[in-house]
């Protein structure tokens, strides 16, 4: 993402990122991994 992006460009960039199905799937898997890590934290 460019520095000093105006709001309309930012919206377009977010829309483009959201339409990237592979990236969105990888992000979802990463988030779910974090949730799993936190849910088992401190349990031994």
Q: What pTM did the predictor assign?
A: 0.49
User: pLDDT tens-digit profile of 7-30?
Assistant: 889 999 989 988 999 999 999 999
From its phi and psi, is residue 42 left (phi > 0), alpha (psi between -120 and 50) or beta? left
Higher pLDDT, 12 or 1: 12
pLDDT attached to residue 4:
74
Confidence of residue 2 (pLDDT cuts 50, 70, 90): low
């Amino acid at each position: 993402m460019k520095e000093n992006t105006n709001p309309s460009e930012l919206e377009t960039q977010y829309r483009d990122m959201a339409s990237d199905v592979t990236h969105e799937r990888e992000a979802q898997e990463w988030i779910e991994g974090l949730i799993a890590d936190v849910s088992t934290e401190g349990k031994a």
